[in-house]
């Protein structure tokens, strides 16, 4: 959430940012409603001051004068009640409009309508070449009996899957390597809730805009699609110690997404499933733009280094305005090479938000001069499973249908080849 004072003083900038993000928002209406909010608030405050003055007069008055003052006080209270009801209605619209105002993207964010307009900024490795016709991960994993997609759909419905045997070992190996790699960067591992209250979703910006993609329980909680939601809620309504910044979390959780806007898209295999697991990097730092930029590059590079440990070709793109979410100032996507599709597929996103999330979540700290500031927040996918298995399986397939285990994962898998004895 942006500060209303900033919105009023920089309305043209906020409008331009929304236009760049392709997000519809009525800033002019918000300013009108904010004027109304302030007008009613001033009236109520004036009536409260009048009430206090008349209360003192009533205490001193006697007889008929006192009765008249009491009657006047009753009329004043009735007017205050009417004003508070009016304010309540205005605040409902004001809050709804405030939740729709997007953060202003960084000047370095390129223009564009969708992910097709994202720009490559880094490329590592060369697309894998084979001396045979490569298969996709579904064929390979089914033949090796390390995944079952038919029974997954039978049991869990559309996009359901089972991992089996060495498929489970491979996924767990990725988790263990991730814990070692990202933990060595100073990120504190946490196992976080997936079932989370509405406040944290509002605070992180997933509500109200993305509600259709969330699973909701009959009790009003939601299932999170990322550990970011619970990790950011950890310090909600708290004041952080300046000396402990930056705070670095490595959140792990099962994740759930309805993929409501992906009908007919990536329906085969493990690319776009409803239920998965993910390590997520989350940072709270000082409210300084340069610090956010530095931490953003650091988070993204952490994941790039992890992919390089697996020796999988990738490239990193900077997201265009039309591919940014409501709160994001800037975002990078890391995309891995998928041989069967002869294209790169997104595996990680790294974003920074300035104080957009922390203002909603009320996460503050007192700076060196004693001033209260909203912290800056960032997050980045460390690594998701099972999606990462798509690129591992396809890039490491061999002519006989077996899968070579990446060197970095062999200590955790316990074998060098999947499909026959090591």
377 is catalytic: no
Per annotation, catalytic residue among 54, 66, 258, 272: 272
Strands (E), 197-267: 215-216, 222-223, 239-240, 247-256
Catalytic residue, candidates 345, 387, 391, 394: 387
Distances (CA, A) of 289 to 226, 241, 380, 386: 25, 19, 17, 34
d(CA 231, CA 378): 11
Cα–Cα distance for residue pair 264/259, rounded to 1 Å: 10
- CA separation for the pair 296, 310 (Å, rounded): 22
From 257, 286, 359, 364, active-site residue? 257
**Do 109 and 321 contact (CB within 8 A), yes or no?**
yes
Pair of tokens at residue 186: 């100073």
- List the catalytic residue out of 210, 348, 349, 391: 349
Q: What is the C-alpha separation between 181 and 250, in angstroms, rounded?
A: 11
Active site residue 349: yes
Return phi, psi of residue 242, to 5°.
Answer: -50, -40
Question: How many CB atoms are located within 10 Å of the residue 258 CB?
Answer: 17
Give the Cα separation of 52 and 73 in Å (integer).
10
CA angle at residue 112 from 106 to 115, to 5 degrees? 100
Query: Among 211, 291, 308, 346, which one carries the catalytic annotation?
Result: 346
Which of these, 316, 295, 287, lies nearest to 125 by C-alpha position?
316
Residue 277's φ and ψ, nearest 5 degrees, are -130, 150
Known active-site residue 257: yes
- In 199-313, the DSSP E strands lie at 215-216, 222-223, 239-240, 247-256, 275-285
Helix (H), strand (E) counts: the chain = 13, 18
Which residues are known to be catalytic? 257, 272, 346, 349, 387
């Amino acid at each position: 959430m942006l500060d209303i004072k900033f919105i009023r003083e920089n309305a043209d900038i906020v409008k331009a940012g929304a236009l760049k993000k392709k997000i519809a928002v009525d800033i002019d209406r918000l300013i009108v409603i904010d004027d109304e909010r302030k007008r009613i608030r001033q009236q109520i405050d004036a009536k409260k001051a009048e009430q206090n003055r008349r209360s003192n007069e009533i205490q001193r008055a006697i007889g008929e004068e006192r009765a008249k003052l009491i009657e006047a006080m009753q009329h004043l209270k009735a007017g205050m009640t009417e004003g508070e009801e009016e304010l309540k209605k205005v605040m409902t619209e004001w809050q709804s409009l405030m939740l729709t105002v997007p953060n202003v993207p960084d000047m370095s964010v390129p223009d564009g309508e969708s992910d097709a307009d994202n720009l490559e900024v880094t490329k590592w490795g060369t697309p894998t070449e084979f001396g045979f016709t490569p298969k996709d991960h579904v064929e390979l994993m089914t033949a090796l009996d390390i995944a079952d997609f038919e029974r997954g759909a039978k049991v869990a419905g559309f996009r359901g899957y089972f991992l089996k045997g060495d498929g489970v070992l491979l996924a767990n190996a990725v988790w263990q390597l991730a814990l070692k790699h990202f933990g060595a960067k100073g990120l504190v591992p946490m196992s976080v809730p997936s079932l989370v209250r509405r406040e944290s979703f509002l605070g992180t910006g997933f509500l109200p805009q993305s509600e259709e993609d969330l699973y909701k329980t009959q009790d009003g909680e939601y299932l999170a699609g990322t550990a970011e939601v619970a990790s950011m809620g950890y310090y909600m309504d708290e004041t952080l110690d300046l000396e402990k910044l930056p705070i670095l979390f490595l959140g792990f959780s099962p994740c759930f997404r309805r993929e409501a806007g992906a009908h007919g898209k990536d329906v085969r295999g493990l690319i776009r499933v409803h239920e998965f697991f993910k390590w997520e990097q989350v940072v709270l730092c000082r409210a300084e733009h340069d610090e956010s930029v530095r931490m953003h590059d650091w988070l993204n590079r952490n994941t790039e280094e992890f992919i390089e440990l697996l020796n999988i070709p990738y490239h990193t793109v900077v997201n265009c305005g039309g591919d940014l979410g409501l709160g994001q100032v800037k975002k990078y996507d890391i995309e891995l090479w998928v041989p069967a599709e002869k294209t790169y597929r997104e595996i990680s996103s790294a974003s920074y938000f300035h104080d957009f999330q922390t203002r909603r979540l009320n996460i503050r700290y007192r700076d060196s001069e004693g001033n209260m500031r909203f912290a800056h927040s960032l997050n980045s996918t460390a690594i998701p499973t099972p999606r990462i298995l798509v690129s591992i399986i396809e890039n490491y397939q061999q002519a006989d249908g077996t899968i070579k285990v990446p060197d970095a994962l062999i200590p955790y898998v316990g074998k060098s080849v999947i499909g026959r004895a090591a």
